[in-house]
Structure 1
Amino acid sequence: MSINEQALGKIVHDLQTKLQEATRMVASVQAQIQSREREKRLSELTNKELSALQPETVTYKSVGKMFVQEPLPELTKELTERASEMEQDMAALEKKRIYWERNKTEAQGNLGELVRQIQQAQAP
């Protein structure tokens, strides 16, 4: 194997590794976004149900395996804040997803271009 073939093999390996990592990170970030969306939706639905109650209604929130009495206004405020936090998290995760998608596309393009160049060099 010549030096060019060894260098070429290393470049191909590096590009494949970069592509696999980017693909894995895109999937991971998308799963995190879905989780945040689910949590936000749950907070919003719970808040919607609580808004139908009288302000003096006794309410409880889950803390681990137990329930703690919590005044309704504080509980609704907490749920609203949680939904807002999830929205901010999703915006940050969306930026990460775009970054990793760009890396993935770049690695695919580079790998495809390298394969085309190899095929052209081998063609008589």
Structure 2
Amino acid sequence: MSFSEQALGKIVHDLQAKLQEATRMVASVQAQIQTREREKRLSELTNKELSSLEPETVTYKSVGKMFIQEPLPELTSELSERVTEMDKDMAALDKKRIYWERNKTEAQGNLQELIKQIQAQTSS
């Protein structure tokens, strides 16, 4: 009987570890998605503001702690590419989030089922 209890304890421990990892990964991926959404919004807003300027307007882009002069069309093109890149990143991260949420749900279900079986064994 003690071997069975040890085996059950190890299974419960493994399921709990899997659940914790999945929960941590879901939170991490959601934070990454939020970061990409923020970057995308900033790029879109900047591009919107730049679109109201005359094409000859002198513009600068930030590079580290300095600014480099860049023609307006190139700057708006770069911002548009960044928005497209953020969309692709968010789509990939959303797939990861779905994967980890599925793992989390599966681990929760397995853990609850195992606990019910243990309770049923101890009560009979």
Query: Could you tell me the TM-score, scaled by structure 1's length?
Result: 0.99
1:65-95 Cα deviation digits (max 9, x unpaired): 0000000000000000001000000000000
Structure 2 residue ranges without an equivalent (≥5): none
The aligned residue for residue 86 of structure 1 is 86
The corresponding residue for 1:65 is 65
What is the match of residue 106 of structure 2? 106
Cα deviation for residue 58 of structure 1 reads 0.4
Aligned to 1:20, the other structure's residue is in SS state helix
Matched-pair identity in %: 82
Taking the aligned partners of 2:56 and 2:115, their CA distance within structure 1 comes to 70
Q: Which residue of structure 2 lines up, in the alignment, with residue 96 of structure 1?
A: 96
Query: Could you say what secondary structure the match of 1:69 adopts?
Result: strand
- Secondary structure of the structure 1 residue equivalent to 2:60: strand
User: What is the root-mean-square deviation of aligned Cα atoms in Å?
Assistant: 0.7
Which blocks of at least 5 consecutive residues in structure 1 are unaligned?
A: none
| Distance in 2 separating the partners of 1:45 and 1:84 | 14
Q: How does 1:29-40 map to 2 (within 5 A)?
A: 29-40=29-40
User: Which TM-score applies when normalising by structure 2?
Assistant: 0.99
Q: Number of matched residues?
A: 124
